[in-house]
Amino acid sequence: MEAVKKQIRIATRNCGFIDPENINEYIATRGYEALADAVTNKTPADVVNEIKKAGLRGRGGGGFPTGVKWEVASKYQADQKYVVCNADEGDPGAFMDRAVLEGDPHSVVEAMAICGYAIGATKGTVYIRAEYPLAIKRLQKAIDDARNLGVLGDNIFGSSHSFDIELKYGAGAFVCGEETALIHSMEGERGEPTTKPPFPAESGYWGKPTAINNVETFANIVPIMLKGADWFSSIGTEKSKGTKVFALAGKIKNVGLIEVPMGITLNEVIFEIGGGILGGKKFKAVQTGGPSGGALTYKDLDTPIDYDNLIAKGSMMGSGGMIVMDEDDCMVSVAKFFLDFTMDETCGKCTPCRVGSKRLYEMLEKITQGKGTNEDIARLKQLSVTVKDTALCGLGQTMPNPILSTMRVFEDEYKAHIEDHKCPAGVCSALLQYTIVPEKCVGCTACARVCPVNCISGKVKEVHTIDQKTCIKCGACLEKCKFDAITKQ
């Protein structure tokens, strides 16, 4: 591994260093100092301006400027305002929010209290997935400890600002990460999105002005307040400041969480920090932004990673999942996997998403079975664009991204499935054929003995054959053969 320090830990600065269940360890790392300083020496407008100047953008994937969001929420007059933390991390292969909540819950608690001071809210709610029991336990303990110490509750640090936090549990619906759906879910309604405007900053939780930010966004607040906006904005690119936590997963050596400055290239992430591809295989693509994102390929290795560049490439930052794929991954199957996910997770409120996801999935399924036609390619593209333009919320609007981006770069793979009835990566089982190479077969009968459908015949010490009609393409024979006599094509 490289000893070059390409990573800068801001959001994950305390993860793995302090005991998350001990408030004293957090205080020893200057914990709650930013909150104390804000309510003692700064006006709410000062706090908003500091965050605005820092250029922090939403780390949940949207990339909306956090300071602007707070400013809007602070301008509306209301008898009650709310701060909401979105901890409903649902992207397949993303786990940075959980790591922050389990490793450094106080940084989120403190940041929410600072946000409350900035916008004039006295109540905060964390919407957290019920599937994260340990994160819930540690966050609840952090809130209780903070309350007992007096850094949460009435008149914090002797000021006129009061703030308290409660938890609300999400029931595992992906769409509830969308802020309007999240608010409905918190109010006890169905988790379904509504059209914006009005934005939550104007009319959110119970119809009151609400600032909703993602866990990682909140985790950046305290360092900005302690070290200043200028320090923060010196990291990153012109329009994307600071760092981003990525969850490296898939066919990469060093699977794990990394926090890197915006503008780092894919090459540095995969080959220098990630240690390259497992088993020395060839790198093919990275899916960023989960089911809403797209595939970046070998052509994009030198592109600086930031919000705008990813959107220009037909992907998006998303919450920061990075799923690395090698030559053994079939891109049509990858697109199908993500469509399967969004098809399950669509809330069904709007037709383009509810019906469109099903139709897109069916077409992909047809192609992976070798029954696709060239019309399907045209239809996939057309329907993808329609769904993008007409769906109600971000889930539907971004759902076709995996299809569009894989089609743009790997159209040859789609064509191979349709025209040659072949899956170049050898993944789609309907298009595979296992055959025995007569020159190599010694007639040991090992393959015939493991075949679950008894489709391999041949006498001992004679060449065996596979009956293609009965073969179910399970690959058991290939694994068993010691003589490399079986090929998969």
Figure out which of the listed residues 52, 53, 239, 253 binds other proteins, where binding follows CB under 8 A: 253
- Partners of 256 in the beta sheet? 248
- Binding footprint of other proteins, residue count (CB under 8 A): 56
**HSE-up of 156 (CA within 13 Å, CB side)?**
25
Q: At what angle do helices 96-103 and 133-149 cross, to 10 degrees?
A: 40
| Per CB under 8 A, 205 contacts other proteins | no
Q: Residues 137 to 166: which contact other proteins by CB under 8 A?
A: 138, 148-151, 157-158
| Per CB under 8 A, 85 contacts other proteins | no
Q: Given the rule CB under 8 A, which of 2-10, 195-203, 283-291, 362-370 is the region that contacts other proteins?
A: 2-10
Figure out which of the listed residues 75, 196, 227, 299 binds other proteins, where binding follows CB under 8 A: 227
CB nearer other proteins, residue 141 or residue 473: 141
Q: Residues 10 to 29: which contact other proteins by CB under 8 A?
A: 10, 12-13, 15-21, 24, 27-28
**Integer Cα distance of 264 and 260 in angstroms:** 7
| Per CB under 8 A, 411 contacts other proteins | no
Q: Which pairing describes strands 486-488 and 434-436: parallel, antiparallel, or unpaired?
A: antiparallel
Figure out which of the listed residues 50, 88, 97, 104 binds other proteins, where binding follows CB under 8 A: 104
Helix (H, G, I), strand (E, B) or coil at 368: helix
Q: Residues 55 to 74: which contact other proteins by CB under 8 A?
A: none
**Integer Cα distance of 195 and 101 in angstroms:** 30
Among 327, 332, 360, which residue's Cα sits nearest to residue 417? 332
Number of residues assigned to the chain: 489
Instruction: Report in angstroms how near the CB of residue 3 gets to other proteins at its nearest.
Output: 6
**Integer Cα distance of 459 and 463 in angstroms:** 7
| Per CB under 8 A, 3 contacts other proteins | yes
**Integer Cα distance of 433 and 423 in angstroms:** 10
Q: Given the rule CB under 8 A, which of 116-124, 130-138, 376-384, 481-489 is the region that contacts other proteins?
A: 130-138
State the SS3 of 465-487.
EECCCCCCCCCHHHHHCCCCCEE
CB nearer other proteins, residue 134 or residue 472: 134
**Integer Cα distance of 285 and 407 in angstroms:** 13
Figure out which of the listed residues 99, 115, 176, 310 binds other proteins, where binding follows CB under 8 A: 99
207, amino acid identity: G
CB nearer other proteins, residue 39 or residue 403: 39
Helix (H, G, I), strand (E, B) or coil at 235: coil
CB nearer other proteins, residue 178 or residue 259: 259
Instruction: Report in angstroms how near the CB of residue 321 gets to other proteins at its nearest.
Output: 13
| Per CB under 8 A, 206 contacts other proteins | no
Sequence-distant (6+) residues with CB within 8 A of 441 are: 458, 463, 464, 483, 485
| Per CB under 8 A, 408 contacts other proteins | no
173, amino acid identity: A
**Integer Cα distance of 382 and 386 in angstroms:** 6
| Per CB under 8 A, 454 contacts other proteins | no
- Element holding 287 (H helix, E strand): strand 283-288
Instruction: Report in angstroms how near the CB of residue 32 gets to other proteins at its nearest.
Output: 6
Instruction: Report in angstroms how near the CB of residue 173 gets to other proteins at its nearest.
Output: 20
Q: Applying CB under 8 A, which residues contact other proteins?
A: 1-10, 12-13, 15-21, 24, 27-28, 30-33, 36-37, 40-41, 95, 98-99, 102-104, 132, 134-135, 138, 148-151, 157-158, 223, 227, 253-259, 273
